[in-house]
Structure 1
Amino acid sequence: MNKLQTASLSILGATLTLAQAFSTGGFATRTSALPQPVQTAAELAIARPDTVGEPETVLLNKIIAKVDNYYVLKSDLEEALQSYAANGQPAPQKCQLLESLVINKMMLAKAEIDSVVVEDKQIDSQLDSRMSYMVQQYGSEKNIIEQFGKSLEMLKGEVRVQVRDQMLTRKMQETITQKTKVTPRDVLKFYNTIPKDSLPYMPAEVEVGQIVRYAVVTKAQKETLRQRLLALRDSVLHGADFAVLAKANSEDVGSGEKGGDLGYAKRGMMVAPFEGAALKLKPGEMSDIVESDFGFHLIQLIETRGAEYHARHILLRPEYNRLEVTEPTRFLDSLRNLIQLDSLKFEKAAKDFSEDKATADAGGLLRDAQSGSSRMAMDGTMDYAMFSILDTMTVGKITPVLPYRSDDGKTGVRILYYKTKIAPHTADYKLDFEKLQNIVLQNKKNKAIDEWFRKSVGDVYITVDPEYTSCRIFGTTQTTGAQASN
């Protein structure tokens, strides 16, 4: 058995499911050490808020490796080890982790050489998501400032650098592996190399569908938001600064802090109602009140540049916890009755009527967040509320109408369909084809990345601190003293 197969089997045997094992990135040779993006101290504090301010989180910023103009600090290595511990994962050896960090820096350096970029708008969107998560964890922006002892802008600046590097590294990986394909023959060949007595035992898995209807915004609530925006529009027309009003009133946290500035956008990037209104404006002009899926907007066009436009807005949203769910509940109750009478198939009903766009096109099927598979392990990794519901149901049944809240905070109701249950079993080629395919694909991607490293290592200048002279970075013992600072 070769090294690749041995590594794959060791991970397969140590995890509950092949899909979970695949998500850890552990199915390959040396380059499988490529880590998930290493967390910053701020993000570690989110995962382990009880450690904020403790002495062990204060790390010396000694440079231990340099790749062109990118540095690996000793604190990076220690934080990477902490992130594994915080996520309950066994940490790799320091040398292996150092090589992974050097590889990430090499990707950043090569991205610079090859002019691979990530747009600022994408970075800002990801940053906004992370900052929103922090607000949820700590309760308010004020609590975050007090907890970390620094301004929100300083904290965002630190996290933004990391977000940008993570996204750029990911884009480089995608660029390198974009032509990687897997055939059924590849999957069967891999499966046949695994000794039958080494195949892992798989837990029960389920397929679940949902049909979602969101709460209705009443006419009175819409009118209240319109009147508030009209008053703000009138203030701008009488000399008030749009940016100042956006900062004080907009409920789009990300752009609100920047005076509503959304940066340059290409056609098709924004939702249709917003873009349609923005493109009708001349620089400096304001729109009428615009309604979209996100709420109600007041838009001001700043300038255009070729096929791009630069706008800012003030966004007001309904109070979702006060929205009316009587009509959505009645609608889903009627739909459920039709499905139970076999007058309508659940999959068609989901495609035609579900307002959750992420699942509607797939006939309502929910997907595992890690593997992307429609089969979800029915164990401790499943959301407890979902587990509790399914545990009382039989396959083929549909729940009564249940309260629902989307990941982006929308309030609504849904019905769940218990479509399939796969009993616990030894890993099987046909039953677990999708997971095996993912493993083989990841192995091929890792091999492609490994070959890319070997070809590209000469394009960058790498030095490693003598303290780590025993580490065989890229399979060599050659290390040059890197600069160090305290």
Structure 2
Amino acid sequence: MRKFGIAILSIIFFMQAAKAQPKHTLDKIAGVVGSSIILQSDIELKYATYIAQGMQPNPSAKCQILQSLLTQKLLAAQAIIDSVEVKDDEVDNDVDRRMRGMIQRAGGQDRLEQFLGRSVIQYKDEIRPDIKEGLIAQKMQQKITSNVNTTPQDVKKFFDGIPKDSLPTFNKEVEVGEIVFNPKLSATEKEAYRTKAEDLRKRVVAGEDFGSLARLYSQDPGSAPNGGDLGFNDRTGFVKEFTAMAFKLKAGDISPVFESDFGFHFLQVIERRGEQVHVRHILIIPVVTQESLTRAKSKADSIYTLLKTNNKIDFSSAAAYYSDNKDTKFNGGMLLNAENVEARSTYIPTDKLDPQVALVTDTMKVGSISKPFLFTGADGKQGYKMLYLKSTTNAHKANLIQDYPKLKEYANNEKVNRKVSEWFEKKRKETFIRIDPQYQGCPTIKDWGTPTTTPITAEVKP
């Protein structure tokens, strides 16, 4: 938390410096793309963010920032021509998502507003145009590369083009399945938490401020500091119980207390906008008891015994039927490589495994199932799980047989990057681009400027 506070203060220092310095230092125009301008203060603010993220001071990074802004402006300009748009709801969602993250890391809305020197509402209004333009640019780039297709012949050509002494080495990888048993409270054990949520709801209905109670009592760390506000979301943004409740109420309505996998909630609809709803909520999370953990272990032990003694049920079927992890149970219990989720790769480098999983699988044989063991999830909650080691692949030089999915991804990325580069090369020659002399020595954009004898506008007029 302290680290983020320092980061925010670094950003604010640059923002305040931008206001304090003469216009010819920070408020001059650093670049022009068609009818759009890029201010020096835009670059300074993004550079401050770069430093705040833990990167070492590096003035050349400003060249990269300007290049990024130039490409965003080019894409956004083409998007207007091609009628590529983003909905206001998409922008609102992205702004809200970013703000919730900033509020959480800053330790509350009040602290963030203190750091920013302005209200969250003001700050959201300031960043909204840039976020909208960025989303439009992303959509435009996706359109440019939408017809890129990578065939097996492309993959082989890509692989054959890699010098043999430059072939990448892939670390040892494993395929691991899991069956998770989360402790479940009995109705009696849950009652105290439901009652607490009911009592808070009664206080809201009686006239107490929803936001204040959320800040004091809600146990959702992402929204509590913001008064329980979750921003705008569509039907895919919530768990099913929450969605069902949020989308059947009218603006201003307060829901009854209901239960989801997270605990007991009640919510208030702030605004409905088509298939988007803006809500705030209060969450009470039941605490796992030792008795519920004991029950989870007992169930895990019985399923382990079943798998060891009954050859009519395999691990995949048992995971689909018994596992409490919804992210893996419908995948036969198999864990996915977090760095290659889109390809749904089940091959995970051992150095990327959860340490708890790595410790257990390190002593397992291929095809074996571990005994149930106690684990602690990323949310701090405990449960039991058993693991299945499906395969291991030792560290090796890349080859087409073992590594085709990875090589296909690399080959596809190369084609996408080439397509984008060709588009930019053509488009920048067709578009009026001016770059301030301060940046004309940047290697990556030194040839971007349109030849002209007219000097770039030196300052932004108030």
CA distance in 2, matches of 1:252, 1:351: 29
Among 268, 274, 294, the alignment partner of 2:242 is 274
User: Residue 109 of structure 2 contacts residue 120 of structure 2 at CA under 8 Å; is this kept in 1?
Assistant: no
Q: Indicate conservation of the 8 Å contact 1:123/1:164, yes or no.
A: no
Alignment partner, residue 23 of structure 1: none
1:324 equivalent to 2:296? Answer no
Aligned-partner Cα distance in 2 for 1:112–1:244: 43
Which one of 147, 163, 177 corresponds to residue 209 of structure 1?
A: 177
Partner of 2:333 in structure 1?
Answer: 364
Q: Distance in 1 between matches of 2:217 and 2:227?
A: 10
Match of 2:208 among 240, 261, 265: 240
**SS of match in other structure, 1:336:** helix
The alpha carbon displacement at 1:437 in A equals 0.5
Residue 291 (1) aligns with residue 259 (2): yes
Residues 216 and 130 of structure 1: is their aligned pair in 2 closer, same or farther, counting only changes over 3 Å? farther
The alignment of Structure 1 onto Structure 2 pairs a total of residues equal to 434
Partner amino acid, structure 2, of 1:347: S
Opposite residue 293 of structure 1, the aligned amino acid is D
Does the 8 Å CA contact 1:278/1:301 hold for their aligned counterparts?
yes
Per-residue deviation, 1:435 = 0.7
- Give the 5 Å matches for 1:48-127: 62=26, 64-67=30-33, 68-71=36-39, 73-75=42-44, 78=47, 82=51, 86=55, 95=63, 98-107=66-75, 114-117=84-87, 118-127=90-99
After TM superposition, the structure 1 = structure 2 runs for residues 143-162 of structure 1, keeping only pairs within 5 Å, are 153=120
- 8 A Cα contact 2:38 2:69, kept in partner: no
For residues 110 and 254 of structure 1, do their structure 2 counterparts lie closer, same or farther at Cα, with a shift above 3 Å needed? farther
Runs of at least 5 residues in structure 2 that lack an aligned partner in the other structure: 19-25
Residue matched to 2:434: 463
Deviations 1:388-440 (A, max 9, x none): 33333222222222333444554322222222111222210010101100011
The aligned residue for residue 26 of structure 1 is none
Residue type of the alignment partner of 2:348: M
* Residue pair 2:173, 2:349 contacting (<8 A) in 1 also: yes
TM-score under structure 2 length normalisation: 0.76
| Structure 1 residue 334, shift from structure 2 partner | 2.0
Q: Structure 2 residue aligned with 1:426, among 389, 397, 406?
A: 397
- Output one character per residue of 1:147-169: Cα deviation in whole Å (capped at 9) or x when no partner: 96968959985997687776565
One-letter amino acid of the counterpart of residue 182, structure 1: T
What amino acid sits opposite 1:116 in the alignment?
A: V
Gaps of 5+ in 1: 1-41
Q: How does 1:438-457 map to 2 (within 5 A)?
A: 438-454=409-425, 456-457=427-428
Q: Give yes or no for contact 1:66–1:482 (8 Å, CA) kept in 2.
A: no
Counterparts in 2 of 1:301 and 1:150: CA distance versus 1, 3 Å: closer
Distance 2:278 2:46 in 1: 40
Which residue of 1 is the match for residue 167 of structure 2? 199
Q: Does 1:377 align with 2:345?
A: no
- Please report how far the alpha carbon of residue 313 of structure 1 lies from its aligned counterpart in structure 2 after TM superposition: 2.6
Aligned pair in 2 of structure 1 residues 281, 128: CA closer, same or farther (>3 Å)?
A: closer
* One-letter amino acid of the counterpart of residue 280, structure 2: R
Select which of 320, 342, 348 maps to 1:351: 320
Do 1:77 and 1:98's aligned partners in 2 also have CA atoms closer than 8 Å? no
CA distance in 2 between counterparts of 1:413 and 1:147 reads: 43
Q: Does the CA contact (< 8 Å) of 1:464 and 1:482 recur in 2?
A: no
The AA in structure 2 aligned to 1:465 is: D
What is the RMSD computed on CA atoms of the aligned residues? 4.3
Alignment match of 2:268 (pick from 297, 300, 303): 300
Deviates further, 461-470 or 120-129: 120-129
The 2-side partners of 1:181 and 1:65 are apart by 35
1:4 matched to which residue of 2? none
Instruction: Return the index of the structure with the highest Cα Rg.
Output: 2
CA distance in 2, matches of 1:84, 1:115: 30
**Letter matched to residue 102 of structure 1:** L
- Secondary structure of 1:439's counterpart equals helix
Give the 3 Å change call, closer, same or farther, for CA 297–179 of structure 1 in structure 2.
Answer: farther
Q: Are the equivalent residues in 1 in contact too, given 2:175–2:334 (CA < 8 A)?
A: yes
Structure 1 residues 364, 174: closer, same or farther in 2, change over 3 A? Answer: farther
8 A Cα contact 1:65 1:71, kept in partner? yes
CA shift for structure 1 position 143: 12
Question: What is the percent sequence identity of the aligned residues?
Answer: 32
